[in-house]
């Protein structure tokens, strides 16, 4: 332990407690945030050791990945601190231990196994939508909280899409042999998403069987079995589970099942947990009068005077908000938004001061819902505020940048200095 750890208080903020576990490069302690009195898991990585074996990039990658992925089934990174010799990750403290410990007591019944698997797929699908591939999925990296919710951890080996080579494939062999896809062992380029799906298939098999699909004392013969996809399902597997696992453990990545198809499989859909069901679309309000803005709204329209950070931690972009001013009448704004909606097959509900768009196709988090509200600053100067009302933020942001913004460009008000108001 360094001097900061010995005295028990880190950066004047965290009180370090007992050692929870350790790996080759890191120790994880229980710690308490003295300001909030909440428990955290403090991962302590020795800089010197990491630099010596050339792992610094991996540590930086873990930090950037953890900052990118916020999902109920992924362990949250609160903050990163550093001293001369150590890097400290303050992470969400997950009290229920590893999923591995549960399997060690014996195989799971189909219902709880499916529940964990659904949460795992939800987390991995979310990572992939952000261009992040975990690459070391195994039961030891799956934690459980007190309510039994699954949390994916240890993104140290993960890669994201900017690590792809010119052929669009990843080229680093990593992960744990028993859970690693054949194309990763083969040292050829591989698709990170497909490799994660294979590991998820091994995990599902282990949950239902209580043992690994590819086992051999000789590592080379184990690899041969993995290459051939040579495994047998125990007789207690249901036909649907057997079918799904066989499609996930397809040694050919190009014919291996995709996450979208996994989520659409009868076994996966049998009983969806509440947390994965999408929220209902909010009711359409009857607001026929054009709304007016108060002084606070007008001040906050100017980026220089934006007071919202004092009240809101997340910026507008993260929340999925688009705001612009126009000197055109509300009817022009509404018809422009309607035009975009038609080309993209959205259903439209409208009044004189608002438009509600509802996507027809289900995305990552259900159907995309968009609300546009029109405020009158003066009778001839309007402000339009567009927000996501349901669905996935990334899909919403893509829709705004590719479809909505270009369509609204010609009605958007530009100040005399030539600055656009689109924020």
Residues 6+ apart with CB under 8 A from 212: 178, 202, 205, 206
Query: Is 314 within any annotated ligand binding site?
Result: no
Looking at the chain, how many residues does it have?
423
Give start-end residues of each CATH 3.30.200.20 domain in the chain. 3-92
Question: CATH number of the domain at 3-92, please?
Answer: 3.30.200.20
Higher pLDDT, 294 or 242: 242
Nearest CA to 64 among 122, 11, 10, 127? 127
Which positions are annotated as active-site residues?
136
Q: Please state which CATH class domain 291-411 belongs to.
A: alpha beta
Annotation: CATH topology of 99-276:
Transferase(Phosphotransferase); domain 1 (1.10.510)
Predicted pLDDT of residue 217: 80
Question: Residue 37: pLDDT above 90?
Answer: yes
Reported as a pLDDT band with limits 50, 70 and 90, residue 249 is very high
Give start-end residues of each CATH 3.30.310.80 domain in the chain. 291-411
Mean pLDDT for all residues in the chain: 76
Question: Residue 132: pLDDT above 80?
Answer: no
Give start-end residues of each CATH 1.10.510.10 domain in the chain. 99-276
| Alpha-carbon distances, residue 385 vs 180, 287, 355, 374, 412 (angstroms) | 47, 15, 10, 6, 12
Q: Tell me the percentage of the chain whose pLDDT exceeds 70.
A: 72
Predicted pLDDT of residue 303: 38
């Amino acid at each position: 332990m360094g001097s900061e750890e010995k005295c028990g208080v880190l950066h004047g903020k965290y009180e370090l407690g007992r050692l929870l576990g350790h790996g080759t490069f890191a120790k994880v302690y229980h710690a308490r945030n003295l300001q909030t009195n909440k428990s955290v898991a403090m991962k302590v990585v020795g800089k010197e050791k990491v630099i010596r074996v050339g792992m610094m990039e991996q540590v930086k990658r873990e930090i950037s990945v953890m900052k990118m992925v916020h999902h109920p089934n992924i362990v949250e990174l609160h903050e990163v601190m550093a001293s001369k010799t150590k890097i400290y990750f303050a992470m969400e403290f997950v009290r229920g231990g590893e999923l591995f410990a549960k399997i060690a007591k014996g195989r799971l019944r189909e219902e709880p196994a499916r529940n964990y698997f659904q949460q795992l797929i939800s987390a991995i699908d979310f990572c992939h939508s952000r261009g992040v591939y975990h690459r070391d999925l195994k039961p030891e990296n799956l934690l459980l909280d007190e309510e039994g919710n699954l949390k994916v951890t240890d993104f140290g080996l993960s890669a994201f899409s900017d690590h792809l080579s010119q052929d669009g494939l990843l080229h680093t062999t990593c992960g744990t042999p028993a859970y690693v896809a054949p194309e990763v062992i083969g040292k050829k380029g591989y698709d990170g998403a497909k490799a994660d799906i294979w590991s998820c298939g091994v995990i599902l098999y282990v949950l239902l069987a209580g043992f690994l699909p590819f086992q051999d004392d000789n590592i080379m013969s184990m690899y041969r079995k993995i290459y051939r996809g040579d495994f047998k399902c125990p007789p207690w597997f249901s036909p649907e589970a057997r079918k799904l696992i066989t499609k996930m453990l397809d040694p050919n990545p190009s014919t291996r099942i995709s996450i979208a198809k996994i989520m659409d499989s009868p076994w996966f859909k049998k009983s969806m947990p509440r947390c994965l069901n999408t929220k209902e679309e909010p009711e359409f309000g009857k607001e026929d009068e054009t709304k007016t803005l108060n002084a606070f709204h007008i001040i906050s329209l100017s980026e220089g005077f934006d007071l919202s950070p004092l009240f809101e931690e997340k910026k507008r972009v993260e929340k999925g908000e688009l705001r612009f001013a126009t000197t055109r009448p509300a009817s022009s704004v509404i018809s422009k938004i309607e035009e975009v909606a038609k080309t993209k097959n959205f259903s439209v509900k409208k009044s004189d001061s608002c438009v509600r768009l509802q996507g027809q196709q289900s995305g990552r988090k259900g159907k995309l819902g968009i609300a546009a509200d029109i405020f009158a600053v003066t009778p001839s100067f309007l402000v339009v505020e567009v927000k996501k009302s349901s669905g996935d933020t990334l899909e919403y942001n893509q829709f705004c940048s590719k479809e909505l913004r270009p369509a609204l460009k010609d009605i958007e008000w530009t100040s005399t200095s030539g600055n656009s108001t689109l924020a």
